[in-house]
Amino acid sequence: MLQEKALRHAAAGVPGEGKRPHAARPFLFISDLHLNERCPRTVAAFEHFIRVSADQADSVFILGDLFEYWIGDDTLADPFAARMAALMHTLSERGIALYVMHGNRDFLMGKRFMKAAGAIWLPDPIAITAFGTRIALAHGDALCTDDRGYQVFRKVARNRLAQLLFLAWPYRWRHALAENMRHKSEQRREGPYLPHYDVTARGVAALFKRSRAGTIIHGHTHRPARHQEPGGTRWVLPDWDLDHGKARGGYLRIDAEGFRMLPLD
């Protein structure tokens, strides 16, 4: 079921309630950072984004796959994970709201993580209103309806009982499984592009209809673009990778002047 959320300040419908429109602070959207210690340049870019790029924002939205994988909130015992959570918590300390959506790699981020990061969890999908525009937010994996094998896996993996059974495993077992799945995913990514891994017109049209939104923002596919669809405009967020080959990354900014895809600083 698609949920709807009235966000604070400008997200509630009118930019900068009580202020002139140009005074409203922007909303920033990112996804698919796949943070891990093996990617120090990408991690450094995220640190700069949180500390500098987002400093004048009203809200930051992370639409999934923030981490390469997250195998339970006991991951916070790892110094790297704890450092990233503490970094994100600085947003709420500065009065900047942080909203986090699960991706296909980090759907086990739970209440302990959200508290440590000072984040508010967003269901997938969700409809919001920002600067007078109704927008549907999603990670994007559920829109890849032709990848039927993955959709079966997704349904099982999001089942709470299945998650509890997995979380009951020793941490080292979960870690080994996640590493194996990461390795297989990298091999697949290095192969030829296969259309059934992308979103489908059917999946996109269904989300436009369900959300009653004229704009969709999602990530997951690592194919950043602005698409004009029959139901409205669809923005695909870029993935971040500054450690392998040509640097990739960026974020979507929404303010009183409209939508802009911006490169990393």
Domain edges within the chain: 3-262
* Residues counted in the chain: 265
Please say if the pLDDT value at position 12 is more than 90: no
The pLDDT tens digits of the residues spanning 150-201 come to: 999 999 999 999 999 999 999 999 999 999 887 777 666 666 666 668 999 9
> What is the overall mean pLDDT for the chain?
90
Structure tokens at 213: 């939104």
pTM for this predicted structure: 0.90
Please say if the pLDDT value at position 139 is more than 70: yes
**CA–CA gap between residue 210 and residue 231 (Å, rounded):** 11
pLDDT (average), residues 16-23: 36
Per the CB < 8 A criterion, the answer to whether 106 and 66 are in contact is yes
Please say if the pLDDT value at position 16 is more than 50: no
Please say if the pLDDT value at position 35 is more than 50: yes
Task: Supply the pLDDT for residue 51.
Answer: 98
Strands of the 232-236 sheet, one edge to the other: 3-4, 126-130, 133-137, 215-218, 232-236, 225-229
Please say if the pLDDT value at position 17 is more than 90: no
Task: Supply the pLDDT for residue 8.
Answer: 47
Task: Supply the pLDDT for residue 117.
Answer: 98
The pLDDT tens digits of the residues spanning 68-105 come to: 999 999 999 999 999 999 999 999 999 999 999 999 99
Kindly indicate the confidence band of residue 3, based on its pLDDT and cuts at 50, 70 and 90. Answer: low
Task: Supply the pLDDT for residue 19.
Answer: 33
Task: Supply the pLDDT for residue 116.
Answer: 98
Task: Supply the pLDDT for residue 13.
Answer: 32
The rounded Cα 7 to chain-centroid distance in angstroms is 17
pLDDT (average), residues 93-122: 97
The pLDDT tens digits of the residues spanning 223-264 come to: 999 999 999 999 999 999 999 999 999 999 999 999 999 999
Greater model confidence, 11 or 251: 251
- The CATH number assigned to the domain with range 3-262 reads 3.60.21.10
**CA–CA gap between residue 139 and residue 128 (Å, rounded):** 14
pLDDT (average), residues 12-20: 31
Residue written as tokens 């094998």?
Answer: 149
